[in-house]
Amino acid sequence: MHVLSLHRWLLALLLLSARLGAATYGVAPDGDDTAAGSPEAPWRTLGHAALIAAAGDTVEVRGGVYAEQVKFGRSGTADAPIVFRARAGETPVIDGATLTAGPGWSPLLRLHDVSHVTIEGFGLRGLKTDRKNHVPVGILVTGSGEGVRLLDNHIHDLGTTWTGARGGDAHGIAVYGNATAPVRNILIRGNRLHDLRLGSSEALVLNGNVTGFLVEANRVHACNNIGIDLIGHEGTCPDPEQDAAREGIIRMNTVFAIDSFGNPAYGKHRSAGGIYVDGGRDLLIELNTVFDCNIGIELASEHAGRATRRVTVRNNVVSRNHIGGLFMGGYDRQRGRTEACRIERNTFFENDTLGHGNGEIHLQFDVRDTAILHNVIVTGPQALVIGNPYAENTGNTVDHNVVRAPGTPRWRWKNREHAGWRAWREASGQDAHSVFSETPSGKR
């Protein structure tokens, strides 16, 4: 009995010591790195705070401008994270306008091999370069780790101005799992990313050995390449079996005004997706709103012999995107495939606004064992419901949808044209339990 009481007393003492050891530090534009670092006597730089803060500590950062690139190398724990956050009611801005983006990745904030670190409430802007293979990034997470949280940050007006077709890249937020151990349980929530010049890259990307993530309630717009991207099979991770963003959720994001036209990496081509899965697997994409992008949502693989697989796309609103609502499959026969995906209870509304002939849903090369069920599909004036210029279309099901189109609806299926609801169903064997109605004239 006395031994049990002693153990309880020691445990309570340890918990109390942990609480007493946690500190709240301050950083301010008029601070001094030789000061005590308290909120009343703050440090001057985030970089200095990143060297000092330990598990359980919070660093409150005052509003103002900080011209620095910061590397975070210390970890918290699940019970005692390290938190860097804006002071309540203030916005600290990390401004790269006077900084030089070096070769390779050049992030304003870098978290490498760290766990349980939160970055909350910062503005990040201004880091630009016209140099080839110099890559500005707002926030970069690399290596391995868990429990990183990127919350309510505002990343804008940074990127590449390199004018060549190759070698120009930038990111707003990038998570690269480039170690044999994964980056896992990362939360990216409430961030706003806009006016990013991305070259061949993406505004918000998870690439390689990244698993168990939640990308939620972010707002991505006015960028000249892909909005949100989940990537696999690029050789990011040393283990090919783990080299894919996987087992994650992408939900309640708003993505709009994504257009690659005029981007030197793409010239006059419009090919940027609002949400893109390129080789990712076991993902849930739900409750997102995607509009005014080149492509609304895309599930594909750019690598021959590889696949995007087991992705569920449900309850999203995908409207008035430039060349199509949903694309699946490789963009040519030298690419990979899409397989075992489910497209359920989405609304596709008047996509392919530029009249490229792709339809609301577009099946490219090698789409397999995928179900398109219980969706509301409302076409624009072309009345093209599904486009499918490739015969490599196996085991796919289309049914229980509500379809509306002006006049005679059209489908292109396994590279054959079908005009009219009855003709489509009889020829394809699809949509047996779906319903069609003509859009009343003048009420699109």
Q: What is the DSSP string of 417-439?
A: EEESHHHHHHHH---TT-EEEEP
Residue 298 β-bridge partners:
276, 327
Query: Does the structure show a pLDDT above 90 at 12?
Result: no
pLDDT at 331: 86
Query: Does the structure show a pLDDT above 90 at 19?
Result: no
Query: Does the structure show a pLDDT above 50 at 136?
Result: yes
Task: Give 5's pLDDT tier (boundaries 50, 70, 90).
Answer: low
Place of tokens 């210390």: 74
Any idea of the CA torsion for 93, 98, 104, 109, to the nearest 10 degrees?
-20
Task: Give 225's pLDDT tier (boundaries 50, 70, 90).
Answer: very high
Give the three-state DSSP class for 182: coil
Mean pLDDT of the chain: 95
pLDDT at 10: 39
The answer to whether 143 and 110 are in contact (CB under 8 A) is no
Q: CA–CA separation, 294 vs 297, rounded Å?
A: 9
Give the three-state DSSP class for 190: coil
Mean pLDDT of 77-99: 98
Cβ-Cβ contacts under 8 Å for 393 (sequence gap 6 or more)? 363, 367, 413, 414
Task: Give 144's pLDDT tier (boundaries 50, 70, 90).
Answer: very high
Query: Does the structure show a pLDDT above 70 at 106?
Result: yes
Place of tokens 């000061």: 35
* % of the chain surpassing 90 pLDDT: 93
The answer to whether 380 and 444 are in contact (CB under 8 A) is yes
Task: Give 239's pLDDT tier (boundaries 50, 70, 90).
Answer: very high
Query: Does the structure show a pLDDT above 90 at 2?
Result: no
**Burial, 432: exposed, middle or buried (Cβ in 10 Å; 0-12, 13-18, 19+)?**
exposed
The answer to whether 327 and 366 are in contact (CB under 8 A) is no
Sign of CA dihedral 116, 120, 122, 126: positive
What confidence tens digit (pLDDT) does each residue in 195-205 have?
Answer: 999 999 999 99
pLDDT at 17: 43
The domains of the chain are located at 25-438
The answer to whether 292 and 324 are in contact (CB under 8 A) is no
pLDDT at 385: 99
Report the 3 state secondary structure along 351-398: CCCCCCCCECEEECECEECCEEECCEEECCCCCEEEECCCCCEECCEE
pLDDT at 27: 99
Task: Give 440's pLDDT tier (boundaries 50, 70, 90).
Answer: confident
Q: Helices in 2-57 by DSSP H: which ranges?
A: 2-21, 46-52
Sign of CA dihedral 334, 209, 136, 63: positive
Q: Where do the DSSP E strands lie in 178-239? A: 183-184, 187-189, 192-197, 204-208, 210-211, 214-216, 219-223, 228-231
What confidence tens digit (pLDDT) does each residue in 159-174 have?
Answer: 999 999 999 999 999 9
Query: Does the structure show a pLDDT above 70 at 391?
Result: yes
pLDDT at 159: 99
What confidence tens digit (pLDDT) does each residue in 276-334 have?
Answer: 999 999 999 999 999 999 999 999 999 998 999 999 999 999 999 999 999 999 988 88
Query: Does the structure show a pLDDT above 90 at 15?
Result: no
What confidence tens digit (pLDDT) does each residue in 251-272 have?
Answer: 999 999 999 999 999 999 999 9
Domain 25-438: which CATH number of 3.40.50, 1.10.3470, 2.160.20, 3.30.160: 2.160.20
- C-beta atoms surrounding 286 within 10 Å: 18
The answer to whether 229 and 276 are in contact (CB under 8 A) is yes
Mean pLDDT of 355-374: 98
Query: Does the structure show a pLDDT above 80 at 1?
Result: no
Query: Whole-model pTM above 0.75?
Result: yes
